[in-house]
Structure 1
């Protein structure tokens, strides 16, 4: 009976020994037909394997904790970059306002200068008229048939006009002084804004360096984890196979007379296992898409593309790699980093923050249970509660959330369920 038993056990044992890299240590034990000795050898191998699995599991747990910490740091970096970009955008707008103010002041100064020149010219004419009037005598006026009192009236009138022109010149000169003072303060503000902008740009560059470093560390850790998880899964599989083999040997030793029944039971278990695997891998029906509301139907075909770029993935398209069973629920648009992201339709901001897997995420509520989702942004320019117009800039393109390439992930949802946005976008 032992001679018939040995070949049946030798095949699985050789497979497990090869997986563990210890075939040379295990196979010789089978040179003698001693199941008890074989069981002890296999038990030692299993205990050693369980020790390796335990060590790897602990190391994986430590790496996963480190991965969570790096993800938290990355979140802070991307949020800080978003705030920095928003600050730089506001500073740019302030600088533009200051430059416009300076242009207005220069134009006003030029106009006031012309008015001063005109007033000074008028004063010169009045002075000349006063001088000419003093050269006239009353008898000359009488000889010309005029009234001698006209000289006195003209003198008074010229004196009054000269005073008024002097006052006008004083007012204009005061206005020039005020313009010069405002211009000086505005130039000082422009200089200060330039300093603040430079400091913010330096800060932004430092944040980008920190983000790059964390992204590199994250990628390295993910790679190490993937390798270690693969090793862990292989070791678990080896342990399961070895444990099954030991159980089979125990069973054969205890129930040598029932080996045929045990074989039938093993075949039945294997068939059940295959049925369970086939059931587990069976495809599920895709979720039904809710019909759009009549209140939103008027916008069908009129929604704006949220950013310019190349559509790399469409609604319902299968993903690559291990996520092939999870189809895309929106559009993935590859675009230049920092490029504007606009609201596809009027709405209200209901979410504006960082979220794992989506990075800097912004969600708009368009009413009638319709939402639009904008993910992986570099910066968010709007806050919760802000109302936005169709086409208004709400964010900028980035690669936050762990994306390898810059772009925008865009979804439309009705009552929480995603639907194909392509048919709703303007051509």
Structure 2
């Protein structure tokens, strides 16, 4: 099966669905950080022998691994169309659209957070005293001693977080700087791979560039790997068996569950010393690449994940990622406190609060995804008009 002929004209619904699942895993990750930090043991000061960290299924709770998947997937998807059609104008169009495409919905969430602060609808401080979560107490590590809510600063932060990395109003935005600059690198890599390499020597180029990226900035490494994987699959024919693809996905999930070399990951301690500081990024990226490769090289698996429901999951992925921490620090914290006052067991409280967190986050994500669809169309049409007016050099 040729990736080029089989998938080039389709939206990569299965990969977008994976993005939605990863966003939900980040929600789960933050939920336990907020209300039951000892369950997962993600924080070293909130960890014991019963914590889930180190278990082979930990990918289901590992938001860090999910973010690594986001970045690898972005590297793959952003240049997939270009590698299949090689239209430089479309690549330039994608380059121009990237910042305004992301900025609108990001800014909405920073302003929403400002409103929650001003209306005193955040209850994270009180809830943290009950859950003993330092993450929740500090507004997901977003508060600084001099923090004072300001509409103007919230508005500016929504637009500039892609350059500054500041994320006081919505700490999930720490990824936006990496996402934006990683995207720019992907577009430049796409030109390099097609125009200079001519799709030759991809393995050698990947080795040199990815290792350089890993030691320069961990967050760039997954974008590089995703881009090279995209080029490789766009230009080469692969067909692996269904069982092999499932095995690769299971192995990829195992790698995405890595955080510390304990329990099922004890053997990871043998990694060479120069790479130890980058172990999480390295294994999360390899795991992500395994899942993407497995999905894109087995027709049966790809088609089984190409349904309407999974398309919907993919559509709400970005809004869900952006809103859920605001929900956790406001409504979820409020419900957590109220249920605790009614004498419910810890387990019952957590189950009910999780249901509220998931349901309300998805409810908010749905209209935001509708707005995002509309906004993307506006940005696309504006960018096309501007590009069509640009004089072409002879």
TM-score bin (small chain): under 0.3
Q: Which of structures 1 and 2 has the bigger CA Rg?
A: 1
Higher helix residue share? 2
Give the TM-score taking structure 2 as reference length.
0.22
Using CA pairs under 8 Å that are at least 6 residues apart, name the structure with larger relative contact order, 1 or 2: 2
Give the TM-score taking structure 1 as reference length.
0.20
